[in-house]
Structure formats: C-alpha cells, structure tokens
Structure 1
C-alpha cells in the first residue's frame, strides 16, 4: 500500500508543445498556476452473457464489465501575469504576432484559427510520481472580475485531452525556467477606447467547439480534437449608467469592448478585446429605493479584417516561439 503523502505546494509542472496529435514534445516550459483539476472519465460497459450458469455464483449480481472509451478534461486557473499568461496561450492558441512596442514587445493572439494546437502537461506530485496529460487543447477561455479584485485577477482555461500516462522521471527534452512574476494591478473596462466608470463586475468567455475524432480501433481513446466553431460573449455590470447605451442598443451600434489589465511592472498590460460587438437587450431591475445596477451584455462577431477576440499582451519578453 502507498505510504507517501502528496502536497500541492511540492508540485512541479511543465508544459510542452506537440507538433501534432501523435508527436510528443521535445522542449518543455516550467509554468505556474493557481489550481489544476484533471477529470479523466472512462466508460465501463455491461456485457452480460447468458446460458452458462457455471460462469456466475448467482443470477442477480453483475458480471465483470468491459473497458469502454476514455476521455479527459481539465480546468486550469492562472494568474493574470503579463509574462506567464502568454506561455499558456502560446501552447493553447499557437504563436502570437509580435511587434515592438516602444522598449517593450506587443504579443497578439487571435481567435478563430483552424490549425489544431496540442500540448502536454506533466505534473510531479511525488518523489518519483509524474502524471502526464497528453494531447490537451483549449476548450474555453473565461475571465470574471469584481470590484474586490486588487492584484488577484485570474484567467480560467478549460481543456480537453487525448490520453494520459505515468512515469518515474521527467520526460526528456530541454527545459526553460519560469519567468519572473509580473502580476496585474487593476482592470478597466473600455468602450471604443474610452474608460467606462462605476463598473462593478465584468466577464468574458470564448467557447471553442471541438469535434472528436472517434474511430474504430484497438485504442479506446479520442484520436483528435479539431476546432469546429466557436462562440463569444461578454458582460459588465454598472452602478450608474447613462442613456448612451440605450441609444447604442436601439441603433445596433457596432462598438469595441475592451477589458484592460494594467500590470505592476511599468507599461505591462493585458487586453482582451471584442473589436466588433453589438449590445443585446438588457433588463433594468428595480428592487427598492436604492441605486440601480444594470448589466450590459454584448455579442462579439468577426469582420473581413478582425477576429471576434484578440488578446494583446505587452511585456519585456522578446518572443514566444
């Protein structure tokens, strides 16, 4: 029986980019996270055979099931860190477009790409116990903020994966160390590059629809996870709000919705932008004599020149190859 005890604080974690669904990584990046929950599931299928009473002790208890299909999902909560977040996005979304921004660098990730992106996560949980989650790809990216956030902004990633393995040592390959911490100081919601005041909370979500490659084979695992569409949404709740948003809603005004995170490190920032969006009709709840809170919901969409979502990050890292 096992005698070791695992502590989350002892965990070490690395991620590695796959060239495709079947080729393991050869380079690895040490990463940090706030929490990681992996949910493996596997069907067990009943196959009762009748006619042979010697195969069972009694007629009522179940017989041994057969192993069915294996699937894997994971939830990762990340710190909104200007140096570390691009590492995860690089593995989940592909290489960004990088340009010089004064003495810093602007890395821009865009939604909507058809190219499959796979990566592995290796977690060391014991002295010689390594859990390898293989062929992970992005299923959802979401953020939620409230006025209580100070320097504790989180990014949530939902992942789907192909398979898993165990090892007694790290996989082979070159390893890059974690970057120095560069957290976020504050968040501001902007409409058409103009800051909107009195915001109580905000949220943004990008769901990627993934098509499973499930084929007849001896391996009871998903063979591929291909992008097959996506949906975007955003919302912001305000304590006080003017008629300008009513006019935008009624006139079907196209606007840019931006959630800007400004870093503790000077001139670092993260921007989630729905460059083209329309306001959806929103309720006006009045529940008493106090102030009224109102939530705006918008529907982002692509155009001939812009994707529905861009994630722009300015930091002092030259490139995310």
Structure 2
C-alpha cells in the first residue's frame, strides 16, 4: 500500500532568503539582490494580541475581544562564517569599507553609523507551501559567546515593521545568490589585551546594541512606522583563571584606566576581529568555592575610542564586494 507523502513543514527544508531594502518596509522585487541566509534558528513572527472586553451590564459571559497593535520582534541565530556573516554585520553597522585584490579582501565596519539599513527576510515552508516576508527588519542587538569548543553562532535580535500574509510562492528571487558557508571554529578564537594575547581566558561574550527606538505612530494597520537607532552600546564579560593581575590592575586603578580588547577568530587566510578600543573594567570578586581553580569575571563596558568608534569589526575573506 502506497503511503501518502506528508505536507507538514520541516525546519530542515526551510527556505530563508533576504535582501536589503531601498525603502524601509517595502519588500524588494524578485529581480533585486536576494541572497540565501544560512540559518540555525529563528523566532521572528508578527503577533497581534487580543484585548479582553471590559464591558459591564451584559451578564457574566465574556464579550468579543478587540485586536491590539501588531509587533514583530525576535531573534535569528546564524553561523559566524567567513562570507555570509558580513551581511549581518552590514545590517548592524552599515556598509563596510572594502580594500584588497586578487581574492584577499578586507571589510571594515564601524559602530555608531547615523543611518542604518533595513532588510526583508523571507521564510518559506516549501512543503505546505507557505512563504511570508518579515519586512523593515533592523538590527537591534548582536550577541556572540566565545568558548573553547563548539559551534560559533551569533544571535541577532531584530525589530521588524511587519510580516506579510503567507502566499504559495516565493516573492524573493527564485534563484537567490548564495555564498559557500565556511564557519569560523570556536577552537581558533582568541582574546587580546593591548594587542597581546590574553592568557587563561576560560570564556567570553559580548553584545553590540543599536538601542533601536520604535516609531509608534498611529496607523490603520496597527504596525510601527519604523525603528530609529539610539545610542550605540557595547558590553560583555571575560572570565579568566586567576593567575596574574593583568586585568585586575586596570580594574582597580583610580581613576579607571581603559584597556583595548580584541575578540577574534582566525581560520586559514580568513579572520574576524571585533576591536573594542576603550574598555572599562569593574573590580570583580574572586570567590573560592572549592579546591579547584579560582576564576574572576570581568563585566566590561566600552566607550568611544580615538578612532571615533566604540567598536571596529574587521573581516578578511575572499569576497570582493557586498554591494
């Protein structure tokens, strides 16, 4: 007896493509520069809650609810890879300055851009089929955690204007551009202080934020008008085995003495570096909880450096342009 093929959607077959928007909130046409998005997971989706009725005098049974405003905020987790990750950096920092030739290119991104791009992200379930576009997506917060081993991913928290109703065919390119995925391994990561490798680092994490402010105007569709960038911010933590006072001295100085920290990964000819020029370290505890090693956690904050940027991201790869 032949089995009827299932049409239930599966994450393994999800089709995710994206394109930068010329007009925020306006989905690009199928002939525009759509590209494939390597994906780990996503939690995007427009929500419209219901407000319970407050009417009295009609008995004890509840009356019809009223729809509230629509929101579409959520995280998308992507691999930190050699080529595709530059597009997410562009969403959070703006277009890079690119130099190089003959298959070796350097892309430099800087914090605090006055104007940031927006993106349309189409998520499709081919089995159903159903395709919807999260439009007007802007980068709110970018988070990366470093460890000795494991897969290196970035969590991108986005604010979107809205989501289109599902349709049976893609509205993005039928054959979007695709770049080969080569992930940076966690095992090749490093943390540097003042240009020198910082020893005994057990773990580290950092978050860059654009502190987006929703433009919550009154509109017939109940959606936000857009989101505007606020003050840029960069913070994180570094956990070290306590064997010297390299960080403790800076944290204990009065007045506070900022240090330069760099978080990076190198894989062959490819490299990704987040350079934070001026980092302020609070004085940490050094608790003893047993016979094993003593660790200290430094929860740092960044400030603008002499370059005029709080953070500068440099990506070395073989892609000539992301225009």
Q: Give the structure-1-normalised TM-score.
A: 0.89
- Taking the aligned partners of 1:216 and 1:176, their CA distance within structure 2 comes to 36
Partner of 2:320: 318
Q: Secondary structure at the match of 2:251?
A: helix
On the 8 A contact 1:16/1:91 being kept in 2, the answer is no
How many residues are paired up? 309
CA deviations on 1:196-245 (whole Å, 9 max, x unpaired) are 12211110011221211122221210111011223221211112331232
Q: Are the structure 2 counterparts of residues 259 and 290 from structure 1 closer, same or farther at C-alpha, using a change threshold of 3 Å? A: same
User: Is residue 309 of structure 2 the alignment partner of residue 307 of structure 1?
Assistant: yes
Partner of 2:3: none
On the 8 A contact 1:125/1:131 being kept in 2, the answer is no
Choose from 44, 52, 65 the match for 2:50. Answer: 44
User: Is residue 89 of structure 2 the alignment partner of residue 100 of structure 1?
Assistant: no
Q: Displacement of 1:125 after TM fit?
A: 0.9
User: Is residue 77 of structure 2 the alignment partner of residue 77 of structure 1?
Assistant: yes
On the 8 A contact 2:122/2:172 being kept in 1, the answer is no
Q: Are the structure 2 counterparts of residues 97 and 70 from structure 1 closer, same or farther at C-alpha, using a change threshold of 3 Å? A: same
Q: Secondary structure at the match of 1:167?
A: coil
On the 8 A contact 1:275/1:306 being kept in 2, the answer is no
Q: Moved runs in structure 1, 4+ residues, more than 3 A?
A: 46-51, 172-176
Query: Which runs of structure 2 are paired with 1:219-298 in the superposition (5 Å)?
Result: 219-251=221-253, 252-263=256-267, 266-298=268-300
Partner of 1:142: 143
Q: Are the structure 2 counterparts of residues 125 and 244 from structure 1 closer, same or farther at C-alpha, using a change threshold of 3 Å? A: same
Q: Give the structure-2-normalised TM-score.
A: 0.89
The structure richer in strand per residue is 1
CA RMSD of aligned residues (A): 2.0
Structure 1 residue runs of 5 or longer lacking an equivalent are: 54-58
- Taking the aligned partners of 1:256 and 1:242, their CA distance within structure 2 comes to 18
Q: Displacement of 1:117 after TM fit?
A: 2.1
Q: Are the structure 2 counterparts of residues 60 and 239 from structure 1 closer, same or farther at C-alpha, using a change threshold of 3 Å? A: same
Structure 2 residue runs of 5 or longer lacking an equivalent are: 1-5
